Amino acid sequence: MTVKFDHQFAASADQLWAIVGTPDRVDWVPGAESCTFDGSVRSLSLPGAGDIKERILSHNNELRRIEYSCFETPAPLESHHASMEVIANENGCRLLWETTAAPIEIETFIRTSMEGCIEKLADLLSESETE
């Protein structure tokens, strides 16, 4: 199962990358209370949903691209791979976010989580415009 989002933001690519390209920044992840990052593993605390661990597979500031894989979660997870890429354009930037995971039963959870993150990103970026 693959979930893809291609979302346009009015903010600059650098503004969006400063958020999603910082592995231990989670103010854009609904429900995330805290996060630690040891250089390769990001550990998120999500009260009510449980703790998860993601391995950062690649992180490229020049390309504004990050890939990660969730390997520890309270939900039954057979496989997970996600990538995020921020692309500048004349109207701001686009976020290309793709997650492939199994089993298929977690699709709704993943889609809803990603949608919530995009909403939080939009809020954070609009707040930074008014500061």
CA 85 to chain centre: 10
Mean pLDDT, residues 35-58: 93
pLDDT for res 63: 98
Domain boundaries, the chain: 2-130
CATH of the domain spanning 2-130: 3.30.530.20
Report the chain's mean pLDDT, rounded to a whole number.
94
At which residue do the structure tokens 């520890």 appear?
72
Distance (Å, rounded) from C-alpha 128 to C-alpha 90? 19
pTM: 0.93
pLDDT at 127 over 90: no
Task: Please tell me whether the peptide bond between 103 and the residue prior to it is cis, using omega within 30 degrees of 0.
Answer: yes
Distance (Å, rounded) from C-alpha 98 to C-alpha 11? 20
* Of the candidate ranges 17-26, 66-75, 120-129, the one whose mean pLDDT is the lowest: 120-129
Residues 6+ apart with CB under 8 A from 17: 61, 64, 86
